[in-house]
Amino acid sequence: MRLPNIAVLLIATPLTAQQPVHHGRARALAVTPPRLVAQATIDGALDEPAWRDAALLTGFTQYRPVDGRPAEDSTEVLVWYAPDAIYFGIRAYEPHGAVRATLADRDKIDNDDYVQLLLDTFDDRRHAYVISVNPLGVQADGIRSEGGGGAAGGRGAGGRFENVDMNPDLQYESKGRVTPWGYEVEVRLPFKSISYQSADPQRWAINVIRKVQHSGYEDSWVPAQRANASFLAQSGTLERLTDLHRGLVLELNPFTTGRLDGAPDSTGGWSYDATPEVGFNLSWGITTTLSLDGTVNPDFSQVEADVAQVTVNERFAVFFPEKRPFFLEGIEQFNTPNSLIYTRRVSQPIAGVKLTGKVGRTNLALLSAVDDRAASTSGDDYPVVSALRVRHDVGAASGVGLAFTDREEGGGGPPATYNRVGSLDVRIVHGRMYYLEAQLAGSWSGGGGESRNGTLWELTWDRTGRNWGFHYTLQGIHPDFQADVGFVPRTDVANARFSNRLTAYGDSGAALENWTGFWTVSGTWPYFEADDFGAPLEAGIEHRSTFQFRGGWEIQLAPEWASVEFDTTFYRDYAVDTGTDTVGFTVPGRENGLWGVELGVETPQFNSVTASAGVGLGRTAAFFEPAPARTVTARASVEWRPTDHLRVSAQYSYLALNRVRDDTRLSTAHIPRIRIEYQLARPIFLRFIGQYDAQERDALRDPLTDRPILLADVDGFYRPAAAQADNDLRLDWLFSYRPNPGTVAYLGYGAGLTEDDAFAFRRVRRVNDGFFVKLSYLFRV
């Protein structure tokens, strides 16, 4: 029998006269946790005497989908600290539904119930450590940052781990257990694992978030309001932290790997190449605020393949996130408004060094790496890549930043080729709900006796209101702007994008809890014609409505209209085969009748299944032909958790383009992906990933004459734009033992396969495969 909530509280929480209570809804947000010379066994049971003296945080408020209402489920967080660590105890009461908990791998708890501790150890309200635990104590951690951009004054109403970089891994202990009244978790965070101010005493900003999966609600200890440009700025505080002992922070992480890579040889057989490697990472906490990291021969063998993306109608480069461990630590310090620092540009590093941290109110991040000569233009030089990012806090939430990147090839004298980018950006938060962000950047590039310079500028104004918000952006990128260490996929354009948002909230207990509508108008002009206010190359009007229903259901509806003028510079290498001659290509005129509509559905976090699906249809611009095409898209994903140890995730993406003029197929993409994980214990799991990437495109034909299109190669010869088809299958198996970040044992096998006919599975051929093993141990002083 489930006890009434008040009775449960009295039984599970024996308060004492010494225990200070900090009620969030009463705005008792200044917490002075006791400093105790004591220890607690991290076993998931809050039964040591120290917990009876801890400060108690309670009185949570709902933040999503509706802010300002008392939380339906009670949460208590206890906090105290010893000389070398800070301790948190969590009691999460669950009188309304079942607790969702699985024995997951690290950072894979977003479909479980969980509690997030947000610790801003510099009290600057810009960045915070995120310490997350599910009811079994499984960890998910990272860095939450403000100023990551948004759409129309706030990013939607969903978003598990929103604005959180989940890649950094902290060293801390946690253990939890499910109880008859909910769940209970203990956390011990050593001061050695984090950076913080050098002052004594100190004040840290803190908030606690709880996600309740059976309802889909997100609760906050601080009564945070959605009508605010900063979530972290609304945090409470841990006051008068004194005499913290961090000690020497020195980590040595040597590793060895063995690879056996196979590929077909010239005789039609199969050959293998063994490549044993040895390397190490070194990290030194110079002060409590600065860290120095170095790497020699960094290994990335544990990184899984990128999720395939549909590229059959993409004109520009596609972004893939960074996954490599050395580059991930402190990566949030390198953020710039226009991704001018993109560490995946260092493709095959031999060695690297990195300095990150904060001095006073100034954030500092410096990276320098030497890339393998295979990544150079000549094939003989070792590119040297450097990136510097400096940001200074101004006022309560504003700031100004500088960035500089440099990539050079050719040693012993002046560089054979170089690219340098300098940037200044400013962010001004005003009126609590508004921020203004501006960036100005310049690039200087040279090689082969030539040089070129270009500029990039952007201005953004945002209002994050509870019911109404906006996000207005103007941007210009010079045709000669080049960012070899950044990600700027398109130049020679000026962009304008204006988004407005309206949000309405249902009454307490209503079926519809939140409706959010976005209206966006956008245009893209050639860079030098932006001041003429002529017709844009591309223009669009789109709307997106999101309906959130009680219980966690979500429906999205998104119609749009667009107009496109095909850019003649994109088709300068095109020609037409008349049958007897090669003639110039005539670029078609503007397409005004482009439209589309998408419908998406997301289910609640059920006990064992979570799913989402979406379909879309419309009329779009097929840029490679160029011509209008009818489009059909579909996407679906499902995660199935039949036991506490097993997770099965499946995804599917589909795109079809048919020519409007004759209804023939222009291109198709099918990309299914499955991921199966079995967690034997918290540090041990088995993983299988299978991904099939089938993308095809018909031979390109002139939309005016229906004759074959020819494309000029690098030597200036015209060749037919023949039909293309890729049917690639990737299979990866991995055994992983990781008792803590840095100490790992991996054993894996991966194979790349292909076939002539999509999904036929009759003549499947291996094109490459590989075995690998990695052993790594973290020595920590």
Question: What CATH number does domain 5-241 carry, 2.60.40.1190, 3.40.190.10, 1.20.140.10, 1.10.10.10?
Answer: 2.60.40.1190
Which of 659, 649, 663 minimizes the C-alpha distance to 703? Answer: 659
Contact (Cβ atoms closer than 8 angstroms) between residue 406 and residue 486: no
Pull the structure tokens for residue 582.
Answer: 């090669």
- Do you find a cis peptide bond into 626, omega within 30 degrees of 0? yes
pLDDT per residue as tens digits for the range 225-249: 988 888 999 999 999 999 999 988 9
pLDDT-based confidence at residue 185 (cuts at 50, 70, 90): very high
pLDDT-based confidence at residue 432 (cuts at 50, 70, 90): confident
Which of 598, 593, 669 minimizes the C-alpha distance to 628? Answer: 593
Distance CA(123)–CA(694), nearest Å, equals: 50
More confident residue, 165 or 219: 219
pLDDT, mean of residues 485-490: 88
pLDDT per residue as tens digits for the range 466-481: 999 999 999 999 999 9
DSSP β-bridge partners for residue 521: 498, 541
pLDDT, mean of residues 151-169: 53
The residue written with tokens 């967690």 in the block is: 679
Percentage of the residues of the chain whose pLDDT score is greater than 70: 91
pLDDT per residue as tens digits for the range 255-283: 998 888 888 887 878 888 888 889 898 99
| pLDDT, position 605 | 83
More confident residue, 553 or 535: 553
In this structure, are strands 591-602 and 554-564 parallel, antiparallel, or unpaired? antiparallel
| pLDDT, position 160 | 43
pLDDT-based confidence at residue 158 (cuts at 50, 70, 90): very low
Report how far apart, in Å, the C-alpha atoms of 423 and of each of 30, 337, 394, 442 are. Answer: 38, 10, 18, 6
pLDDT per residue as tens digits for the range 725-749: 999 999 999 999 999 888 999 999 9
- DSSP labels for 494-507? EEEEEEEEEEEEPP
Pull the structure tokens for residue 501.
Answer: 């948002």
Highest mean pLDDT, choosing among 85-89, 153-157, 307-311:
85-89
Pull the structure tokens for residue 201.
Answer: 């005493």
**In the predicted structure, residue 693 carries a pLDDT above the cut 60:** yes
| pLDDT, position 276 | 87
Q: Where are the domains of the chain?
A: 5-241
- DSSP labels for 277-311? EEEEEEEEE-SSSEEEEEEES---TTPPPPPP---
**In the predicted structure, residue 15 carries a pLDDT above the cut 60:** no
Report how far apart, in Å, the C-alpha atoms of 326 and of each of 295, 307, 369, 506 are. Answer: 7, 21, 11, 46
The residue written with tokens 């906090």 in the block is: 79
pLDDT per residue as tens digits for the range 388-416: 999 999 988 899 999 999 999 886 566 68
DSSP β-bridge partners for residue 664: none
More confident residue, 186 or 417: 186
Q: Which helix (H) or strand (E) is 357 found in, with range?
A: strand 349-359
Which of 402, 357, 406 minimizes the C-alpha distance to 386? Answer: 406
pLDDT-based confidence at residue 155 (cuts at 50, 70, 90): very low
Contact (Cβ atoms closer than 8 angstroms) between residue 404 and residue 385: no
Residue 562 CB partners (closer than 8 Å, separation 6+): 538, 539, 540, 541, 594, 595, 596, 620, 621
Contact (Cβ atoms closer than 8 angstroms) between residue 554 and residue 158: yes
More confident residue, 304 or 392: 392
- Report the SS3 class of residue 775: strand
| pLDDT, position 161 | 52
**In the predicted structure, residue 339 carries a pLDDT above the cut 90:** no
Sign of CA dihedral 58, 63, 67, 73: negative
| pLDDT, position 156 | 35
Q: What is the mean pLDDT of the chain?
A: 88
pLDDT-based confidence at residue 318 (cuts at 50, 70, 90): low
pLDDT per residue as tens digits for the range 575-603: 999 988 899 999 998 999 899 999 999 99
Compute the C-alpha angle 776/780/781, nearest 5°.
Answer: 155
- Report the SS3 class of residue 206: strand
Contact (Cβ atoms closer than 8 angstroms) between residue 628 and residue 652: no
Torsion of CA 698, 704, 709, 713, to 10 degrees: -130
pLDDT per residue as tens digits for the range 53-84: 999 999 999 999 999 999 999 999 999 999 99
**In the predicted structure, residue 673 carries a pLDDT above the cut 50:** yes
pLDDT-based confidence at residue 714 (cuts at 50, 70, 90): confident
**In the predicted structure, residue 39 carries a pLDDT above the cut 90:** no
Least trusted range by pLDDT, from 142-146, 174-178, 511-515: 142-146
pLDDT, mean of residues 634-643: 95
| pLDDT, position 8 | 42
**In the predicted structure, residue 202 carries a pLDDT above the cut 60:** yes
Burial class (CB in 10 A: 0-12, 13-18, 19+), 723: exposed
Distance CA(584)–CA(705), nearest Å, equals: 12
